[in-house]
Amino acid sequence: MILFQCDYNEGAHPRIMERMMETNLEQSPGYGEDAHCRRAAQLICKACGNDRLAVHFLVGGTQANMTVIDAALRSHQGVISAGSGHINVHETGAVESLGHKVLAVPHKDGKLTAAQVEELYQSHIHDSSFEHMVQPKMVYISNPTEYGTLYSRKELEELSRVCREHDLYLFMDGARLGYGLAAPDNELDLPFLAEHCDVFYIGGTKVGALFGEAVVIVNEELKKDFRYFIKQKGGMLAKGRLLGIQFETLFEDDLYMEISRHAIRMAEKLREAFRKKGYPFLVENRTNQIFPVMPDSVLEKLSGSYGYSYQERVDDTHSAVRFCTSWATKEENVNSLIEDLNNC
């Protein structure tokens, strides 16, 4: 079985595993106070073009999301998210379990607009019962989104402007950020994110690491006491160097972008094969997530040899599914899928 279900089916990039073994018997302070975490943070700050950033390493995306959101919000405040947002759909109510409501709004291909944020904010403050309602205080977006789409520079600038006008924090979930930055139609870069977001994170779990996300805090208000929140949420890894070593390796010699570009090349090749077969896409994008709409009969034939994710029913005989490439996707496996696809 060849898996295209997600971008974390494999372990870690060999250079990370080698570095783990090389440093295995090193003695170092715990809880992220080691030299590897410090250097990884320095490399990320350099890549972002800002040496005043606070960089913290957490184990996974849900942990990063809930820790950032809880650190930013008071008990009466909530976070605005697209209805498809990961915090709203696939995190088992982690944010709500901390007492913060996710204020979900309709989306277009996974994206929020500045106009939607403006409308929700104005609706709240002009409601005569505003004090009886959850106060919007943060805007959560994903880039790439859960549909593999990307925010343009203009869209992010507008979101940032609205958030700053109304004293809202802008938080970007970057679990798949590398694949977004490597996409052919991408307009963003790390310095731009550091300029327009209050906080974002750089995903490692889905982009070459065994595990780990690098939370990058720009806003001075959010930097204060953040390590207390990490500890309180169970995120302060005793052997913190395991996170530092991975991001240190990923941000040396442009490895993070190199492996991200590989995933995009594989996705482009597979996307073109679906297109040539005449299959439309549920959502058009150029990242590593592909959402073809296919006959159920073809999917049944492929399911014996290939793993993919079901997305939604389209009609009585067609389903939208997701095929996902990764930093480790083998070209021979992509070629095998294309050959079988052409023979169906």
pLDDT band (50, 70, 90) for residue 17: very high
Nearest residue to 327 (alpha-carbon basis) of 288, 297, 293: 288
What CA–CA distance (Å, rounded) separates 336 from 289?
Answer: 18
- Residue 312 DSSP SS3: strand
Confidence at residue 68, expressed as pLDDT on a 0 to 100 scale: 98
Omega before 144 cis (within 30°)? yes
Pair of tokens at residue 188: 């963003």
Q: Are strands 293-295 and 318-324 parallel, antiparallel or unpaired?
A: antiparallel
Maximum Cα–Cα distance for the chain, whole Å? 63
Residue at 81: amino acid letter: S
Confidence at residue 278, expressed as pLDDT on a 0 to 100 scale: 96
* Mean of the per-residue pLDDT values of the chain: 97
Q: CATH code for 2-7+256-343?
A: 3.90.1150.10
pTM of whole model > 0.85? yes
Highest CATH level, class, for 14-251: alpha beta
Domain residue spans in the chain?
2-7+256-343, 14-251
pLDDT band (50, 70, 90) for residue 344: confident
With a cut of 90, say whether residue 201 has pLDDT above it: yes
